Amino acid sequence: MTQPRVELLFWDGCPSHPKALADLRAAMADAGLDPDTVLVREVDTDERAGRERFVGSPTIRIDGEDIDPPPGDEPVGLTCRVYRLRDGRISPTPDPATVREALSNAMTRSIP
Amino acid sequence: MTSIAIGESAPSFELPDTEGATQALNGDGDTSAPATVVVFTCNHCPYALAWHDRLLAVARDYADEGVRMLLINSNDAERYPRDSFDAMRERVSAEGGWPAPYLRDEDQSVARAYGAKTTPDVFVVAPDGAIAYRGAPDADSGDPGLDAAWLRAALDDVLAGRPVDRAETKPVGCSIKWRQ
């Protein structure tokens, strides 16, 4: 099995990334992945946000795919992302169940 | 930027709201309200959105006691079009109206005068015009059951004429989007 490439992109103007990173690392550990392999990258300029197709902080990608894909018309920029939890609540971080599911799907895909 | 301190006079302002009216706060003492809640908020921040219903519930629950709430959006709408005055009007209309006016601080002067840092950032103004509380509505944007407890406790203290027991908490949310 190939270890999936797990990235967390954040903007420092939004205080949600420490919780998102903790949730992500916990989910990786639960899935048997090394939590220290997550690539944490700061997006700090509008130009970089454009290059990275960054629609807000935090953004988690696994093998390049957003774990909670935004609408196609979502503007890029330095902002906080709005997530909707599975129980309907608005949240600044993704639902941990969504993170676990995305990791599981990536690991399933990586099995030859 | 320095924030206004507990006990200092709330900066006065006049701002337009989404209904076409002008809303004012007289920081020298607004005797028309036993307490005024000034909330810096916006349309696009997940923290502001998560706390929004709790804040509106406070506006409804304390209306009979004469408490006034003013919701202010100071974000730069050029870089964040979801916070434009038009988008504010559309949001209030789509939600069938709010129990508190939603004000536009286009030049960001009011946010600067208060030293607002985040959305939301909550200030309670006592009837003598002094800041009695500043901070978050409650301890966790993700827990609706907390019901804006810190704000409600501060209002209860002000309405009872007591010093506010927990006068300052750390505002939590997205940074105010200043013009560059």
Task: Tell me how close the Cα of A12 comes to any Cα of chain B, in angstroms.
Answer: 10
A11 has pLDDT over 70: yes
Whether a cis peptide bond, with omega within 30° of 0, leads into A18 is: no
The predicted structure's pLDDT at residue A108: 85
Q: What is the pLDDT of residue B134?
A: 98
What is the model's pTM?
A: 0.93
| Alpha helices (runs of H) in chain B, residue ranges in sequence order | 46-61, 85-94, 109-114, 149-159
* pLDDT of B31 over the 90 cut: no
Structure tokens at A16: 């949600």
Residues in B closer than 8 angstroms to A83, CB to CB, are: 46
Q: Quick one: average pLDDT of A52-78?
A: 94
pLDDT > 70: what percent of chain B? Answer: 97
Q: Which residues in chain A are contacts of B49 at CB distance < 8 A?
A: 82, 90
Look at residue B90 in the predicted model and tell me its pLDDT. 98
Put simply, the answer to whether A92 touches B47 (Cβ < 8 Å) is yes
Categorize the per-residue pLDDT at B9 as very low, low, confident or very high, splitting at 50, 70 and 90: very high
ipTM: 0.89
Average pLDDT, stretch A6-23? 96
B15 touching chain A per CB within 8 A = no
pLDDT tens figures, B53-106:
999 999 999 999 999 999 999 999 999 999 999 999 999 999 999 999 999 999
Closest CA to B44 of B160, B180, B133, B175: B175
- pLDDT for B27: 64
Instruction: Between B29 and B1, name the one with better pLDDT.
Output: B1
CA distance, residue B121 to nearest chain A CA (Å): 14
Q: What is the dihedral of CA A66, A70, A72, A74, to 10 degrees?
A: -120
Beta bridge partners of B104: B73
Cα dihedral value B102, B43, B140, B149, nearest 10: 10
CA B75 – CA A54 distance, rounded (Å): 20
Residues of A within an 8 Å Cβ radius of B:
13-16, 46, 75, 77, 79-83, 89-92
Higher pLDDT, A1 or A52: A52
* Strands of chain B, DSSP E: 13-16, 22-25, 36-40, 68-73, 102-104, 118-119, 121-125, 131-135, 174-175
Instruction: Grade residue A2 by pLDDT with cuts at 50, 70 and 90.
Output: confident
Domain ranges for chain B = 34-175
Closest C-alpha among A70, A77, A82, A17 to residue B76: A77
Tell me the residue type at B29.
G
pLDDT at B180: 84
Each residue of B117-156: pLDDT tens digit? 999 999 999 999 999 999 999 999 999 999 999 999 999 9
- At the top level of CATH, the class of B34-175 is alpha beta
Confidence band of B3 (pLDDT split at 50, 70, 90): confident
> What does the pLDDT read at residue A48?
96
Answer whether B142 touches A (CB < 8 Å). Answer: yes
Percent of chain B scored above 90 by pLDDT? 92
Asked whether B37 and B150 are in contact (CB, 8 A), the reply is no
For residue A111, pLDDT beyond 60? yes
Answer whether residue B28 shows pLDDT above 90: no
pLDDT of residue A3: 85
